Every structure is written in C-alpha cells, then in structure tokens.
C-alpha cells in the first residue's frame, strides 16, 4: 500500500480538540453506548469508563475472528480506545457514593441499561439532575422506555429483524437478509452523540443540563426514512425486492451490482438508453421511457447483467467513468488496502499497549480544522485508572480513610 501524503499535517493535539475539558462517565457496554463515548473521546473529551469489578464491560470477552489484545477482545479495544477504566460496584453503597461524587463533577453520563435498572440503582435522571443540574444524561435502550417491547433485548440483529430493515437487502427469491455490520448499534450511538453535542451547546447558552434518549429501534427506522416514507404514502403493501441484482426496493434499473468477467461493478442511477449506447448493448436502447426503468427493471437488469459479464471491470470503467456515469468497482478488503484512494485518506491508525504491543484499527472519520483525529492509547485494562481518577477528583480510593 502506498504511504499517505506527507503534507496532510499531524493529528490534532488534545488541546486543539473541541471537547477538551469535558468529562464523560461511560456506564455503557457492548457497542451502541461505547461508540457514542468513543466519538466524544475522539473529539477531546475525558471519558471514564465505569465498569463492574468482576469482568467489566461484557464486550471484553466478545471476540471477533478469535482476536485478542492485552487480554481483552480486539473488538473491545476498537470501540473503547482512549478511555480510562474505573472499577465500581454500583450495588455497593461506598462505591455508589464515589460514583455519585464523580457525577457531581462530570459534564455527561452515558448508559445503555434496560429501562428500570438505573432507577433501582438510584441513578435515574431525576436523582442525577438533583446531584448535578448541569449534567447531560444520555441513555440508549433497545425499544424505548414505553410500550410492550421496552424490555426486549436490545441486540442489533433482533432490531434489524423487527424494524423491517432485513427485508431491504437480497433478491426477491431470498428470505430476509441482515446487513453484515452492527448498523443499528452504530447509528444509535451516532444519534446519541448528536444529542449530547446539541445539549452541550444549549448548556453553553443557558447553563442548564438535560436528557437525551435514543433507541436502537428508532434509529433503525430513521435509517429507512427514504423507503419507509414511500411505503407510508403508498398502497400499504410491502415493497417487492427486485428479482435480479436488487439494491433498492424503490429505485429502478440499472441500480445494482453486476458481475463482470473478472469481478463486480456497481452501477447507480443513469438513463438506460444512454447506458446502452455507451456500452454497445443494443437491447437497452429502446428503453427511453423512465417509467419503464422501474416497472420493467428485472428485464432490464437481466439484459445488462448478461452484457456486463462479457468484459472485465476495468474495460467498463474506462468507458463509463469518462462519461460521468455513476459506477464503481466492488472492492474486497485486500483490494481496498492496495488502493491509492484508501491510502490517501489515512483511514487506519495504531493503538499501543506497553505490555502487549500494537493493534491496527480504524480512526475517527471526523476532521477538525482540516486535521485528522487519532490517539495512540488503547482501551484500558479493567479498573486500571480507578485510583488515579479518584485522586484527580479529590476522592478517597476504596479502603482509604475519609
């Protein structure tokens, strides 16, 4: 892979990041809440991960591809990098009092417990708001705090299933096809981060804290706003996926991914008759009426698929890209890593652990003042920073006399 351009500038320092000085208490586990707190940390916030002393965040043992780093899963490190870990048993009165003392000094707290859990612990919004009226209280649930689904497990695949998202992928002959990433978790985390940032802006004007709530299910519905809006204003029938190379239930041909002689080519919206003329496919040229591009999309896609399979991907790109047709090669990850475009964007970073070495992962996708945001510090060992955090905030560590 080619090296990145040297003139892109060094990563921003902590002092230059917009959330410098903001203290976040992260009570969340797995992906949705931690992804929100990761982004806040990327933007300069001091994120203190509050974990149970026995085992901590359950994602420490949630392994992908059987990969570990520093005794915890690589997944845990990718989404909890650049945080501190404070071990606290919220059911222990002494630990709970220490946590409440931290809440009085914090700017934001984030949790993703099921509805009712924080109430039983005495860390519900009303109680916390009395401790610290300036605090931003941020919560993620699976399905909201009201209604018959509120206690269902908030797990990404289950939310994709119940929200209808799984019926948007795959061809008509297939059953529901889930997305291959934890999209509901990550979008909910992004939405929570947006709410936190909005409330921090409001607090800057008014001095008042507030509460932001999101759910995986609501985020999954919001992601489908294009298709779901068309459904709500249509005939009430579930939209049919295309029988050939489906990529959108409501967009006409040629929208989809096509096999070529040596790989795959994605083709987005473009006039069918013009496309036929460019690639020398005579059977497509009579399709001049845009209405037919949807009503006859399976037939059109079948013709196009047979034609594109006769040449390699580079052949078609050489024709279509100069004509400003929206198309792209479908990369595998090894191909992506070898591409100049990927190298130019500097999309990976390394995080370090003094004992266990280096882990390569993704970086924050946001640039501030033209500079990328990276940090070399990996995720913390469970409870590693307990004594230091308590000392920094003027609190006694467990076992110390007041």
Give the pLDDT score at 352.
84
Question: Is position 29 within any domain?
Answer: yes
Is 89 part of a structural domain of the chain?
yes
Q: Domain with 157 in it: what CATH number?
A: 3.40.50.10540
Span 98-111, mean pLDDT? 97
- pLDDT tens column, 123-138: 999 999 999 999 999 9
Q: What are residue 97's phi and psi, to 5 degrees? A: -65, -40
- Are 46 and 139 in a shared domain? yes
Give the per-residue pLDDT at 400. Answer: 59
Are 276 and 370 within one domain? no
Q: Is residue 181 situated within a structural domain? A: yes
> Please, is 162 exposed, middle or buried when counting C-beta atoms within 10 Å of its C-beta (0-12, 13-18, 19+)?
middle
Chain position carrying tokens 């294009």: 226
Same domain, 205 and 308: no
pLDDT of residue 69: 82
What pLDDT is recorded for position 386?
Answer: 96
Same domain for 87 and 31, yes or no, is yes
Indicate whether 242 belongs to any domain: no
Q: Averaged over 369-396, what is the pLDDT?
A: 92
Indicate if the pLDDT at residue 288 is higher than 60: yes
Q: What is the mean pLDDT of residues 377-383?
A: 91
Active site residue 242: no
Task: Give pLDDT tens digits for 193-219.
Answer: 999 999 999 999 999 999 999 999 999
Query: Is residue 292 packed enough to be buried (19+ CB in 10 Å), middle (13-18) or exposed (0-12)?
Result: middle
In a domain, 10, yes or no: yes
pLDDT in tens, 308-350: 999 999 999 999 999 999 999 999 999 999 999 999 999 999 9
Say yes or no to pLDDT of 284 above 70.
Answer: yes
Beta carbons within 8 Å of 13's beta carbon, 6+ residues apart: none
Q: How many CA atoms lie within 13 A of 224 on its CB side?
A: 27
Question: Would you say residue 400 lies in a domain?
Answer: no
Q: What percent of the chain has pLDDT over 90?
A: 85
In a domain, 86, yes or no: yes
Q: Is 233 exposed, middle or buried (0-12, 13-18, 19+ CB in 10 A)?
A: exposed
Contact between 177 and 249 (Cβ < 8 Å): no
Confidence at 10, pLDDT banded by 50, 70, 90: very low
Please count the structural domains in the chain: 2
Q: Which of 57, 156, 185, 242 is catalytic?
A: 185
pLDDT at position 67 is 86
Q: How far apart are CA 271 and CA 254, in angstroms?
A: 8
Q: Is residue 255 part of a domain?
A: no
What whole-number distance in Å separates Cα of residue 216 and Cα of residue 339?
A: 34
What pLDDT, in 10s, does the model give residues 149-197?
Answer: 999 999 999 999 999 999 999 999 999 999 999 999 999 999 999 999 9
Do 160 and 31 share a structural domain?
yes
Helix ranges (H only) for 146-182 are: 156-163
How far apart are alpha carbons 216 and 220 in whole angstroms?
A: 6
Tell me, yes or no, whether 72 and 158 share the same domain.
Answer: yes
Q: How confident is the model at residue 355 (pLDDT cuts 50, 70, 90)?
A: confident
pLDDT for the residue numbered 181? 94
Which pLDDT band, with edges at 50, 70 and 90, does 356 fall under?
Answer: confident
If you average pLDDT over every residue of the chain, what do you get? 92
Residues 14 and 82 in one domain: yes
Same domain, 48 and 184: yes
Same domain, 105 and 155: yes
Token pair of 340 as six digits:
């100049």
State yes or no: pLDDT of 71 exceeds 90: no
Does 372 or 1 have the greater pLDDT score?
372
Tens-digit pLDDT profile for residues 36-46: 999 999 999 99
Q: Say if residue 196 is in the same domain as residue 303.
A: no
Domain span including residue 185: 6-224+346-392
H-helix or E-strand spanning residue 190: helix 183-206
Q: Which residues of 95-133 are buried (b: 16+ CB within 10 A; e: fewer)?
A: bbebbbbbbeebbbbbbbbeeeebeebebebeebbeebe
pLDDT bin (cut points 50, 70, 90) of residue 3 is: very low
């Amino acid at each position: 892979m080619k090296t990145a351009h040297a003139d892109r500038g060094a990563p921003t320092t902590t002092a230059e990041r917009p959330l410098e000085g903001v203290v976040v208490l992260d009570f969340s586990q797995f992906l949705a809440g931690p992804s929100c707190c990761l982004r806040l940390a990327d933007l300069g916030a001091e994120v203190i991960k509050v974990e149970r002393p026995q085992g901590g965040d359950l994602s420490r043992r949630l392994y992908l591809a059987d990969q570990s780093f520093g005794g915890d899963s690589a997944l845990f490190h990718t989404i909890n990098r650049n945080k501190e870990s404070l071990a606290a048993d919220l059911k222990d009165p002494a630990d709970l009092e220490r946590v409440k003392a931290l809440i009085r000094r914090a700017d934001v707290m984030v949790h993703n417990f099921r509805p009712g859990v924080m109430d039983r612990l005495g860390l519900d919004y009303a109680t916390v708001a009395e401790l610290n009226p300036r605090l931003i209280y941020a919560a993620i649930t699976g399905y909201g705090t009201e209604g018959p689904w509120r206690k269902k497990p908030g797990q990404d695949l289950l939310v994709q299933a119940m929200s209808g998202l799984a019926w948007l992928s795959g061809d008509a002959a297939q059953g529901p096809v889930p997305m291959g990433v934890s999209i509901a978790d990550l979008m909910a985390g992004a939405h929570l981060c947006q709410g936190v940032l909005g409330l921090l802006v409001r607090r800057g004007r008014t001095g008042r804290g507030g509460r932001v709530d999101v759910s995986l299910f609501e985020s999954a519905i919001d992601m489908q706003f294009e298709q779901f809006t068309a459904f709500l204003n249509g005939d009430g029938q579930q939209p049919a996926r295309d029988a050939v190379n489906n990529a959108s239930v409501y967009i006409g041909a040629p929208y989809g991914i096509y096999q070529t002689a040596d790989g795959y080519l994605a083709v987005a919206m473009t006039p069918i008759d013009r496309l036929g003329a460019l690639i020398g496919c005579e059977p497509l040229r009579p399709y001049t009426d845009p209405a037919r591009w949807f009503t006859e999309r399976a037939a059109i896609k079948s013709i196009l698929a047979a034609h594109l399979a006769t040449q390699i991907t580079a052949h078609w790109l050489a024709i279509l890209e100069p004509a400003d047709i929206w198309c792209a090669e479908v990369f595998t990850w090894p191909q992506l890593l070898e591409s100049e475009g990927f190298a130019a964007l500097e999309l990976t970073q390394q995080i370090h652990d003094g004992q266990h070495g280096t882990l390569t992962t993704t970086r924050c996708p946001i640039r501030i003042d033209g500079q990328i945001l990276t940090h070399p510090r990996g995720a913390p060992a469970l409870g590693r920073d307990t004594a230091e955090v308590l000392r920094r905030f003027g609190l006694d560590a467990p076992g110390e006399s007041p």
